[in-house]
Structure 1
């Protein structure tokens, strides 16, 4: 089981804070540093100093780290045109020496689109645009050097694209698709994803979502292995008082976190991680909601990561 650190910078984190978390994650032995792709805070927090762009951040971290993988959970397809996005991700992959994983989704938070003047079409159109983006981005990355790429879709048209730059990873970074939709998400994952992620659901719902994607892979005749993963908020303490202190710091109640996340003592969290492993999860994204609490990462590394 691989453990990855996952941050939510729109809730309030400057680049320097994210850099400290990424370096700590690398030094402590975690597999990756991921961040969300949002431009507006959620809930009762200030959000200061304001949003940071995910791919600008990851490009900088690519030069400040040497081992951990870097990625988004997940990039919103509504935020960027597919051609420029393919260029940005390929460049960060080059800058990191081939350490990028590319998560992408439809985008869902309408308020952030309104706040920054980004068009927000209906759900059906967003899924249609996402599918075209996946075909374009992976098509650009996989076009042989010296050849050009063309695409004619409902929403996007590319003609004689030189399909440059190429990512460091042959064929492009692994593609991650997440969500728990019953029909469109499994089909898209089976067709395009290297990894399928279920975010913030209990084990029984995660199992059902995994099964839907497995069925979609069989129906599509897919033979390439799929990586299955989950994202869970993490709140670990050596004792009950420390668990409560960390829960209070992120504005959550301990019973709710125990039910819906990875919360409690290291022993409790290890047991729950075992449950996800039994479902077929190979990787867990630990959502760290207090990026200033680096002691939390040290505890998780020493008492959980070291024992997996």
Structure 2
């Protein structure tokens, strides 16, 4: 089971805070450090000092880390033109020495688009399909050849399709709980399929849909990595679990029902149930980025049993 750290910086985190958490994640042996791609806080937090851009952050982290993989859950397709995104991700992959992964989603948070003057189109999923086709198509075009694309939303003519990433294949992540379109998109473009904040039963059901869609597209179901993202609240004892839950404004009972919460033994047991449902990678959503002891406990008491 791969264990990864997933952060939500729009809730209030500077680049320096993210750098501290990324370095700690690397030192503690986690497989990857991922972040969300949002420009507006959610819920009852002040969000200070304000948002940080996902790909600018990852470019900085690429130069400040050496082993850990870096990526997004998920880059919002509404934020960037696909040709520009392909350049950005390829460059950051070069800066990292080939450690970047691209999670790309349709975009969903209308309020942040309104707050920063970003268009919020109705046909987001149709645009996402074209974006995935363009980004992957640009990277796959051999050096010296050109790439053209004539879609309903995007048109590229004789693109030199440069630069190329350092990796031969940058892993592409698609995710969600849509029953039909999401599995089909994943089957066409994804190396990993992520189910965010869902039960074991819903995850198993969605993994099955994606496996079926992959097979219908001529791929093997096992060609994809299947993963879950879940909020983490782990403590050595009940008091520590309660303290960590209070720090993120959540209730222990709710966190145990919907996330990875409780003692290390409880969390290991629940991860085992996700593994039985088909998951081989867990993203721990860490909401209190000042609590590095939380990362250390997850690494030493959970990761040591699952490595």
Matched residue, 2:31: 31
Partner in structure 2 of residue 86 of structure 1: 86
Return 5+ residue gaps in structure 1 as ranges: none
* Structure-1 residue corresponding to 2:69: 69
The alpha carbon displacement at 1:174 in A equals 0.5
Taking the aligned partners of 1:220 and 1:16, their CA distance within structure 2 comes to 43
CA deviation after TM superposition for structure 1 residue 221, in Å = 1.8
**Divergent runs of 4+, >2 A:** none
2:47 aligns with 47
Instruction: Measure, in 2, the Cα distance between the counterparts of 1:194 and 1:109.
Output: 25
- Provide Cα deviations, 1:227-270, integer angstroms capped at 9, x if missing partner: 00000000000000000000000000000000000000000000
| 2:113 paired with 1:113 | yes
Gaps of 5+ in 2: none
Aligned position for 1:59: 59
| 1:193 alignment partner in structure 2 | 190
Whole-angstrom CA distance in 2 between matches of 1:305 and 1:280:
18
Q: In 1, Cα distance between the equivalents of 2:39 and 2:283?
A: 21
Q: Which of the residues 216, 219, 228 maps onto 1:219?
A: 216
Distance 1:93 1:120 in 2: 28
Measure, in 2, the Cα distance between the counterparts of 1:64 and 1:151. 36
Deviation at 1:279, TM superposition (A): 1.0
How many residue pairs get aligned? The number is 305
- Indicate which of 225, 236, 239 corresponds to 2:237: 239
1:218 CA drift (Å) = 1.7
Q: Cα deviation per residue 1:57-82 (whole Å; 9 max; x = unaligned)?
A: 00000000000000000000000000
What root-mean-square deviation, in Å, do the aligned CA atoms of Structure 1 and Structure 2 show?
0.7
The separation in 2 between residues aligned to 1:213 and 1:166, in whole angstroms, is 29
Q: 2-side partners of 1:62 and 1:219: how far apart?
A: 37
Distance 2:128 2:16 in 1: 32
- Could you say which residue in structure 2 is the equivalent of 1:17? 17
SS of residue matched to 2:214 = helix
TM-score under structure 1 length normalisation:
0.98
Query: CA shift at 1:149, angstroms?
Result: 0.7
CA distance in 2: counterparts of 1:307 and 1:190, whole angstroms: 32
The 1-side partners of 2:305 and 2:17 are apart by 27
Structure-1 separation of matches of 2:276 and 2:200: 10
Aligned with 1:304: secondary structure?
A: helix
